[in-house]
């Protein structure tokens, strides 16, 4: 068994597990019921965790998780190639000079 992901909440953990299983990687959620019954546990120990059962699939699993994280995290600020101002990641044009911003890969 290998922990591959610590989720912020249970729906998050289920999404990751579903993505892993669709990729052919058997996965399990631990700590599914821990939130709300924390007791003395440090918070970080109580988040739902996604574990894979086949350690040799770790690399593949991490790629799946990375793909998930990239899709769900707000895009980073982009800096304008013309005036060097930074704009929010969802902008296509620089707010300052109107120049085209680089597209995230």
* Member of 9, 63, 96, 100 binding Zn ion (CB under 5 A): 96
**One symbol per residue from 42 to 81: x for binding Zn ion (CB under 5 A), - otherwise; what is it?**
--------------------------------------x-
Q: Which is nearer to Zn ion, 1 or 83 (CB)?
A: 83
- By CB under 5 A, tell whether 93 contacts Zn ion: no
Among 18-26, 38-46, 54-62, 95-103, the segment contacting Zn ion (CB under 5 A): 95-103
- Looking from the CA of 79 toward its CB, the CA atoms found within 13 Å total 3
Nearest to 28 by CA among 62, 64, 3: 3
Bridge partners for 2 per DSSP: 52
Helices (H), the chain: 10-22, 43-46, 58-72
8 is a site residue for Zn ion (CB under 5 A): no
């Amino acid at each position: 068994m290998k922990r591959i992901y610590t989720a912020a909440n249970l729906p998050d953990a289920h999404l990751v597990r579903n993505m892993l299983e669709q990729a052919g990687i058997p996965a399990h959620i631990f700590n599914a019921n821990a939130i709300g019954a924390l007791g003395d546990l440090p918070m970080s120990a109580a988040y739902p965790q996604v574990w894979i059962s086949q350690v040799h699939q770790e690399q593949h699993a991490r790629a799946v998780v990375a793909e998930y994280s990239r899709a769900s995290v707000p895009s980073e600020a982009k800096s304008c190639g013309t005036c060097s101002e930074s704009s929010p990641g969802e902008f296509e044009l620089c707010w300052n000079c109107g120049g085209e911003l680089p597209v995230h890969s």
